[in-house]
Chains A and B, each alone.
Chain A
Amino acid sequence: MILERSGILGGQFLRRVDHLRQAVLRSPYEHHPGAEGYADCEMIDFARLRWEQLTHTERHEVRMSQAGHRSVVPIDVFEAFLDHISVSHELAERTIPANVKRIEDPHSERPVLVTDLGTVSARFVVLACGERRREMPESWARGLGEDTCGAAHYWDEQSSLVPGKPYCVIGSGLSAAHLVMNALTAGSPVTWAFRRSEVKYQCADVNAAYFRAEGRAAFEGDRSQRLRMLRDQRILSVMFEFRELFEAAAQGSQLRLAPAFSVQGVAATDNGFIITSEDGRSVRARSIGMALGTVPEIGASLLSEEIIGSADGWPSLNPSDLSYKNAKNIFAVGAAACLAVGPAARNIDGHRVCAQRVSRRICRELA
């Protein structure tokens, strides 16, 4: 049984990319949600069977993948593939639109999930809650005031961009890049403010080595060492495809970069906002788009601190099966498992590794 707030598998991800008008995945064709060991169709074969529907550029990306290079996957291909996997494995029939409020008896053999529809007990519970957006500091929120007319928005919300009017994007990751691109396309002058000294362009969001077994094996050491490796890898970056576009826009003065801009405060004005930095610079804009990164959902709203065992934002999980150290029948996969599996746990292929570890344990006990 799958409990999901919206009842749509992958719905949160698809809603987010729709808001951002993100057209392609960052993950390549090789990383896909097909189940390993069940002869599932590969995503690249799924795309090749629809050759007529692919554009010239998309076909070239398929060839790149076939040649062993990094490739870019259209979101619509990914969504159709998700749907196929869902139908093949009867996932939709097992999905119930329910909001889980808390988990009771987490130490027991059958933890109980309390949802808005009632309670469910299960021998095994797997938390696959993804990531939530990082919220702005309280001081910014005070500066924005209550009556912003929705003129400041997060990356996963409806855009407040007013075409042609000045727009400021805060953040330096891929979501920020999409906000910038959308504003440029709408003809707005854009100021892009970020804390780093420059925008970091790279293909994947973590070092590709972490997608391979040797990379995961290298992610070892005590908790502080792994935390340091995670910090080094979780640096916001942008896909290379944006680089030329942004450089051209910056030369043409439609895009103004504001590097090393640590926002000190935001204040509402008569016709928008003024954003000030710690070193005294300021930016005026009609509306603001914020993409400040994400925070993994580690089960904090469902389980007690004693179960999660987290003092640094990451749960204490057994690396072999990703169960909570203090609740052996409850597991966490995806971004929440980064400290156990490595930084790629938040990516599609990392999810596959997580699923393998969890299912191995569950199958062993059910046998």
Chain B
Amino acid sequence: MTSSGFWVNPKASDYARTQGLGRQSLRRAEEASYVLPFVDADASVESGLILLGIDIELLVAGLYVADSDSTVADCFAAVDVCRHRGSWNGVTFEEMLLEGRQKYDQVAGLVDQVVPLSGSPRQAWVKCYSAVIQNLDPEPTGSALVFLAACLFRHHQASGVEVARKSDEFDQ
């Protein structure tokens, strides 16, 4: 506060100087360099990060297609085609979503054990992925593992996905 009683914004550089900070430190090459993520990390890291950013309905529906043999790319392509065209191999998007949600509900209880706290999505994903492998029995493999881990990572959204029940369930 100034003597006249008004707040003023201290200059950021003045503040930094008094705190022993300042721009000098950023001039050190190792701190100023911009490092891109490692390109030779496991492919599941790259595909996992993509799944963390797609529409949640696509992700949950992907659990229907994902299995131990297919790749994440193939599963994503199938769900994407289904969403655009309305069906894929005779299965509607709503059916995919329903089946995917049911698969998710079977593992949703693991959330507390696998969802990590980390400011880095990349590191958080690796921790989540590893935790799913350790905690699920039998251990899922292939695209099923990646889709399950991504759903658990985004459990707040995944558990909120609303699905329409099959018509025969209404009849019962």
Residues B34 and A87 in contact, CB atoms below 8 Å apart: no
Separation of A45 and B84 alpha carbons in the complex (Å): 17
Say what secondary structure dominates the interface of chain A: helix
Residues A49 and B80 in contact, CB atoms below 8 Å apart: no
Within 8 A of A (CB), among B8-64: 34, 36-37, 39-40, 43, 46-47, 49-50, 53, 55
* B117 beta carbon closer than 8 Å to chain A: no
- Residue in B closest to A41 when the chains form the complex, CB atoms: B80
Stretch at the interface among A13-21, A50-58, A157-165, A283-291: A50-58
Stretch at the interface among B69-77, B129-137, B148-156: B69-77
Residues A88 and B43 in contact, CB atoms below 8 Å apart: no
Q: Interface centre among A49, A50, A62, A88, by most B CB within 10 Å?
A: A49
**Neighbouring B residues of A90 by C-beta, 8 Å:** 85
* A212 beta carbon closer than 8 Å to chain B: no
Contact-residue size bin, chain B (C-beta under 8 Å from the other chain):
20 to 34
**Neighbouring B residues of A67 by C-beta, 8 Å:** 34, 36
**Neighbouring B residues of A46 by C-beta, 8 Å:** 73
Separation of A308 and B39 alpha carbons in the complex (Å): 51
> Closest approach, in angstroms, between the C-beta of A69 and any C-beta of chain B?
10
Residues A88 and B80 in contact, CB atoms below 8 Å apart: yes
* A216 beta carbon closer than 8 Å to chain B: no
Residues B85 and A39 in contact, CB atoms below 8 Å apart: no
Residues A59 and B39 in contact, CB atoms below 8 Å apart: yes
Residues A66 and B36 in contact, CB atoms below 8 Å apart: yes
Separation of A38 and B34 alpha carbons in the complex (Å): 34
* A48 beta carbon closer than 8 Å to chain B: yes
Residues B81 and A48 in contact, CB atoms below 8 Å apart: no
> Closest approach, in angstroms, between the C-beta of A84 and any C-beta of chain B?
6
**Neighbouring B residues of A56 by C-beta, 8 Å:** 39-40
Separation of A51 and B43 alpha carbons in the complex (Å): 5
Separation of A52 and B34 alpha carbons in the complex (Å): 25
Residues B84 and A49 in contact, CB atoms below 8 Å apart: no
Residues A63 and B55 in contact, CB atoms below 8 Å apart: no
Residues A49 and B72 in contact, CB atoms below 8 Å apart: yes
Separation of A87 and B89 alpha carbons in the complex (Å): 13
A interface size (C-beta, 8 A): 23
Given A51-B43, A56-B40, A63-B39, A84 contacting B80 (CB threshold 8 A): yes
> Closest approach, in angstroms, between the C-beta of B159 and any C-beta of chain A?
22
**Neighbouring A residues of B84 by C-beta, 8 Å:** 38, 40, 88-89
Separation of A22 and B49 alpha carbons in the complex (Å): 31
* A223 beta carbon closer than 8 Å to chain B: no
* A281 beta carbon closer than 8 Å to chain B: no
Residues B43 and A52 in contact, CB atoms below 8 Å apart: yes
* A60 beta carbon closer than 8 Å to chain B: yes
Separation of A67 and B23 alpha carbons in the complex (Å): 23
Q: Interface centre among A41, A60, A62, by most B CB within 10 Å?
A: A41
Q: List 6 A-B contacts (CB under 8 A).
A: A41-B76, A48-B46, A49-B47, A49-B73, A88-B80, A90-B85
B residues with a Cβ closer than 8 A to A are 34, 36-37, 39-40, 43, 46-47, 49-50, 53, 55, 71-73, 76-77, 80-81, 83-85
Which 8 residue pairs across A and B have the least CB separation, nearest first? A59-B39, A51-B43, A51-B46, A49-B73, A88-B84, A52-B43, A63-B36, A48-B46
Contacts A49-B47, A84-B77 supplied; 17 other A-B pairs, CB < 8 Å? A38-B84, A39-B55, A48-B46, A48-B49, A48-B50, A49-B72, A49-B73, A50-B71, A52-B43, A56-B39, A59-B39, A60-B39, A63-B36, A63-B39, A84-B80, A87-B81, A88-B81
